Amino acid sequence: MTIDEQMFFDGKPGALALYEAFREKLLALCPDAALEVQKTQITFRNPKVFCCVSMARMKGIQGEYLVVTLGLGQRLASPRVWVATEPYPGRWTHHIPLRDCREVDGELLDWVLTPSAGKSAPCGEKMTWNYKNPRKSEDFRGFVSFGERLRR
């Protein structure tokens, strides 16, 4: 972890622990990803931006937490998504708060590493995904989720 990353979380040890768990698992699956520490967020690219983490304020969430922001071609129907907006037709931005390291799981990593609308997968793998029921999708053919890879 770089000094810039550590300074980003200065005075927020709980958020730093969440970031370390997220960063470690994400980079294990996508080692070519580059990080860019900015004033309000840390951006992950490969070569294009595929997710960001921040400590953005979210109404109704107490204590230290980390917000993972990602863009997808469809809205995620999950109680884990705190805010979802559609800035352009067919392009959804999702904000997912993490309050515990156990929330950095296969489901979250599947979402983060799923290709955005019309884009390739962030780690170079071609995937197809049915958000309503991915396990029963005809497009599922042989797809091994990133969560399953973590459990192996």
Q: What is the pTM of this model?
A: 0.77
pLDDT at 95: 95
- Which amino acid type is present at position 20? E
Sheet holding 91-98, edge to edge: 34-37, 41-45, 49-54, 66-72, 91-98, 83-88
Give the helix ranges, DSSP H, for 9-115: 13-29, 106-112
What letter represents residue 1's amino acid?
M
How does pLDDT run across 70-84, given as a tens digit for each residue? 988 889 999 999 999
Amino acid at 10: D
Q: What is the pLDDT of residues 128-145, one digit of tens each?
A: 444 444 444 333 334 444
pLDDT single digits (tens) 82-113? 999 998 888 899 999 999 999 999 999 999 98
Total domains in the chain come to 1
Q: Which domain holds residue 57?
A: 3-151
